[in-house]
Every structure is written in structure tokens, then in C-alpha cells.
Amino acid sequence: MSVILGFPDSSVKVFVKGADTSMLNVIDKSFNMDLVRATEAHLHSYSSIGLRTLVIGMRDLNASEFEQWHASFEAASTAVFGRAAMLRKVSSIVENSLSILGASAIEDKLQQGVPESIESLRIAGIKVWVLTGDKQETAISIGYSSKLLTSKMNQIIINSNNRAACRKSLQDALVMSKKLVSTSTVANNVGGTSEANPMALVIDGTSLVHILDSELEEEVSLVPFNLGSC
């Protein structure tokens, strides 16, 4: 999300806020990398305790850049067809070569009764999936606080950059789930009280794109997860 502001001294600046995965890819290559690494460390610590994070960046626009953006924006915003795609392209003109101003982290409390409701759904045998734009550490932390995840769950995390790696991760998950079910069955047959712990699947956004491919989607449906968190 961006805003372009004009100042009394006739300068023009664009301010941008967004997720670190997007913002850190459009930082000026000459920007102080020590500050980038420090910001990343702070974001990690914030998200690990369940806070929702954003990175804020800024850069100056010269007169020609602003005029180019403004003309393109006017054309895109009045387009009859493909308006959304045109606006995204126009945004990319100015949302680059940014300097980091800082990062924010806020607490987003769950409404009363939400953890208990999610827990009841899981106990009833209903598979629960959560799709979130938060950092993965934040998503996992919120998963525990909402009782979507528990300490007894066997947690499998898939962070893959291509379809082949996703396929391998899914196949490994299937093997693990069968092994856990088999171990539980053997224990029950010999008079034990062992019961297979539920499994949780945590998938990052890049992997999800590949997994939602029709071919891999069939494979993920074979894995008997009681719960999943994206």
C-alpha cells in the first residue's frame, strides 16, 4: 500500500508499507545492509511472539518520475478493461529502490470464544485450515494461541521454491503419517493405549502456489492431517 505526498519545498515522496517478503525485495541495492539485517532480526523476534508486522519504506520522486507515474495512473484508473493489472503495473513504477524507514508490530487479539470454537471443531474430527498473510512465525504463534496447533501435534513445515521440491515434501509427509498410524495400530493390538498424535501441516505462500496445482492437490488430499495451517 502506497501514498505519494507533495511537500512545501516542492519535493515529492512515495511512502510504501507492506509485508517484509515483498518490501525487502524492492529495497535500494545501495541501502545500508546492516540496517536491513537489523530490521529482519526485529521482524523475526516480533513475529515469533505472534505480533503482526509491516515494513515501511520511502523514496524521493523527481519531477519526471512523478509526471510519468501520474499520467500512467490516470490512464490505468479510467481503463475499461484490465484496470487492476494496469494499476499494479503503474504501482511498480514507483514502488522500487526504497529506503527502509522502519518496521511496525501490533497485537491482534482473538475474539472471545475463538480458541474454544476451533478446538471443538478439531475434536469433532473436522479438518481446519487457516490462510493468512502473516509471517510464518506469526502464523504458528497465533496457531498455538487459537488452539489450532497444540504441543502434541506432529508439525510438518513445507517451504519449497519449486513444484518438484513440494512434491518431495508432500511424499515425505505421507510416509511419516502412514508410519505414525502404523505405530499406533501396533501399540493398540498388543494391548497398549498409544494413539497417533494429530498432524499439522504448515505451508508458506510460495509452496502453496505449487501445491494448489491440480496434480499436487490430489497428493496433499491423501495425507491424513487433522489440521492444517498456511
For residue 199, which amino acid is it?
A: M
Q: Which of 51, 71, 74, 55 lies closest to 63, judged by CA? A: 71
Query: Quick one: which H or E segment has residue 208?
Result: helix 205-211
Q: State which residues form the domain around 100.
A: 2-106
Q: Which of 54, 59, 55 lies closest to 96, judged by CA? A: 59
Same structural domain for residues 139 and 181? yes
Report the chain's mean pLDDT, rounded to a whole number.
83
pLDDT class of 19 with cuts at 50, 70, 90: confident
Same structural domain for residues 222 and 125? yes
Same structural domain for residues 128 and 205? yes
Same structural domain for residues 127 and 218? yes
Same structural domain for residues 147 and 182? yes
pTM higher than 0.75: no
For residue 196, which amino acid is it?
A: A
Same structural domain for residues 118 and 101? no
Query: Quick one: which H or E segment has residue 122?
Result: helix 114-123
Q: How far apart are CA 62 and CA 65, in angstroms?
A: 5
pLDDT class of 5 with cuts at 50, 70, 90: very high
SS3 per-residue string spanning 32-46: CHHHHHHHHHHHHHH
pLDDT, mean of residues 204-216: 77
CATH number at 96 reads 3.40.1110.10
What is the distance of C-alpha 108 from the center of its chain?
16
Same structural domain for residues 100 and 18? yes
Cβ-proximal residues to 45 (8 Å cutoff; 6+ apart), any chain:
none
Q: How far apart are CA 205 and CA 55, in angstroms?
A: 18
Q: How far apart are CA 201 and CA 134, in angstroms?
A: 16
Of 106, 130, 163, the last residue of a domain is 106
Of 106, 136, 157, the last residue of a domain is 106
Same structural domain for residues 125 and 222? yes
Q: Which three cell numbers stand for residue 60?
A: 524521493
Same structural domain for residues 63 and 137? no
Q: What is the pLDDT of residue 182?
A: 75
Residue 137 near residue 229 (C-beta atoms within 8 A): no
Q: What is the pLDDT of residues 177-196, one digit of tens each?
A: 788 777 766 555 555 545 66
Q: Cα dihedral angle (129, 135, 141, 146), rounded to 10 degrees?
A: -40
Same structural domain for residues 130 and 220? yes
Residue 227 near residue 144 (C-beta atoms within 8 A): no
Of 60, 84, 106, the last residue of a domain is 106
Same structural domain for residues 99 and 122? no
E-strand ranges in the chain read: 2-6, 12-18, 52-61, 99-106, 128-130, 154-158, 199-203, 227-229
Same structural domain for residues 119 and 224? yes
Q: What is the pLDDT of residues 67-120, one digit of tens each?
A: 999 999 999 999 888 888 898 889 888 999 999 999 999 988 888 899 999 999
**How many independent structural domains does the chain possess?**
2
